Structure 1
């Protein structure tokens, strides 16, 4: 069969259900990295990128998380680089497996950054839960299809493994456990904070630069139209008019239905392929990604509050 290219993507020669069939033939208890990789870089690359971006965005509405990110300046003063670093570091295990040297180096970098601050275990667990729950719900609402039970279990096992490498205790064992954790945590902890709002504003401003300047106002409204009321309230955003919300969400659902007509995508799309990841045009070293203590400044960049130390790094 002939193949063709559309927006840089290679299609043809395989049925639309190719990756679903491939993933469902694998074992989510042992092949979870491969299943998750297939979903992220082949089956749902755009959707997963959007969903994981929204997952991180939700964490800003937790005052403890948003305030810390604001105090470090990482997501307000160097937001493009911090966005790129986060995406590149978190991608390594899914591309290469947790035992690959690059994946271990990436997780080590993440743990080194976290170790500089007093971050409670419950915040680590919450952030991890968003990576499992938000993509599943996004695909339910807007994807060309939902995750299969095999793919969902693989996602759970993938992030449970990441949590183990980060020494996060008491990670849920099931999707339902992750969903309860996320929903209950947000109901208890979402709230207004100047730091969280500053980080959210900086991140949203960056995302608007990913589109042509003339489209930025519409994209900003579109982004708010996808946020739920508790998130909007916590971050101080006004909800768009209801017709705008309905139109934005209907447009995404229509996109999902159209994608069902296309053959399976065989060309992987990684973070480095995204045009808006632009901090390292000449390449990068994993060990140099992320933040480091300021030279000549003793101690941690943010004052520690009394309390238990952050978990020891895994990986």
Structure 2
């Protein structure tokens, strides 16, 4: 089972612990292999939901630095025509796995949708492996830099084991068996494959425009510069994006550091935020009234059907 006990009023695994480090103490009582689903749900849903959402936005962005991945996305036209829906589909399907577990009814349904979408295309196994690594190591790196505390060894290992099991259920082959080996694969893959192409630039630009669209129009040029400030030199080069001014890079990091210091003094979260992202525009009120099977490229008419039924 995903949870040992569950309070009906909060949904918190085992109830809400006392003190700002209460969830961390709960995590340290668990085994990162046996209990990896419970640990990862606490980390992503209770301790760092904002950081996980932001870091996974950049993790997906990072995968578009790979020419074979960006070429496929450009060929399908999905990120050009419906970038918000493609973003929402990916974010919500992965959030379902975190919130409910990959072997739960909603988790199995989510994986079925993911596998159906991927099954339409001939995708190289190493590309799939690489995308899987970004779901593990990009949030870890982000939280180490900008989180209100660093992740514990249990949390790091639980994240690895969680996504390794997700990858197995997606039919991805040759997934390394250790945290360190998978990280080495990621670093070597990026060294070999990150390079500029026009498709990278196009898909990166669509995604950048999507990020900017979440803010009022007068702020969008500054938002774009803020995104450039958080991209590393390898990503900037692969997209053909300009580097942000040094002062803005420093200001962005200071702002995220200030946020972390503020969050450090908040009480422990009582409700999981894993499957609730306010940037979701495609499925109003999700998850209320929706199932994972309603998501995905095969269901672009879902909302229209719901409106007609109403």
Q: Normalised by the shorter chain, which TM-score bucket?
A: 0.7 to 0.9
Q: Which of residues 265, 277, 280 is equivalent to 2:283?
A: 280
1:31 paired residue number: 35
CA distance in 2, matches of 1:48, 1:158: 15
Q: In the alignment, is residue 264 of structure 1 matched against residue 268 of structure 2?
A: yes
Q: Deviations over 1:120-140 (max 9, x none)?
A: 110011001111111111111
Q: In the alignment, is residue 289 of structure 1 matched against residue 295 of structure 2?
A: yes
> The residue matched to 2:297 in structure 1 has which SS?
coil
Does the CA-based 8 Å contact 2:106-2:291 persist in structure 1?
no
CA distance in 1, matches of 2:290, 2:204: 26
CA distance in 1, matches of 2:185, 2:260: 28
Shift of 1:293: 10
Shift of 1:19: 1.1
CA distance in 2, matches of 1:13, 1:138: 25
Does the CA-based 8 Å contact 2:89-2:296 persist in structure 1?
yes
> The residue matched to 2:98 in structure 1 has which SS?
helix
CA distance in 1, matches of 2:243, 2:186: 22
Shift of 1:250: 2.0
2:77 paired residue number: 73
Shift of 1:285: 3.4
CA distance in 1, matches of 2:41, 2:17: 21
Could you tell me which runs of 5 or more consecutive residues in structure 1 were left unpaired when the two chains were aligned: 1-11, 295-315
CA distance in 2, matches of 1:176, 1:146: 18
2:248 paired residue number: 244
Could you tell me which runs of 5 or more consecutive residues in structure 2 were left unpaired when the two chains were aligned: 1-15, 301-310
Does the CA-based 8 Å contact 1:51-1:135 persist in structure 2?
yes
CA distance in 2, matches of 1:201, 1:247: 23
Q: In the alignment, is residue 96 of structure 1 matched against residue 100 of structure 2?
A: yes
Does the CA-based 8 Å contact 1:66-1:195 persist in structure 2?
yes
Once superposed, which parts of structure 1, at least 4 consecutive aligned residues long, lie more than 4 Å away?
none
Q: Deviations over 1:12-33 (max 9, x none)?
A: 9831101111111111111111
The alignment of Structure 1 onto Structure 2 pairs a total of residues equal to: 282
Q: How does 1:162-173 map to 2 (within 5 A)?
A: 162-173=166-177
Q: TM-score, normalised by structure 2?
A: 0.87
Q: How does 1:115-126 map to 2 (within 5 A)?
A: 115-126=119-130
Q: How does 1:166-245 map to 2 (within 5 A)?
A: 166-245=170-249
Q: TM-score, normalised by structure 1?
A: 0.85
Q: In the alignment, is residue 161 of structure 1 matched against residue 161 of structure 2?
A: no
> The residue matched to 1:292 in structure 2 has which SS?
helix
Shift of 1:116: 1.0
> The residue matched to 1:99 in structure 2 has which SS?
coil
Does the CA-based 8 Å contact 2:35-2:158 persist in structure 1?
yes
Does the CA-based 8 Å contact 1:133-1:178 persist in structure 2?
no
2:50 paired residue number: 46
Alpha-carbon RMSD across the aligned residues, in angstroms, is 1.8
Shift of 1:275: 2.1
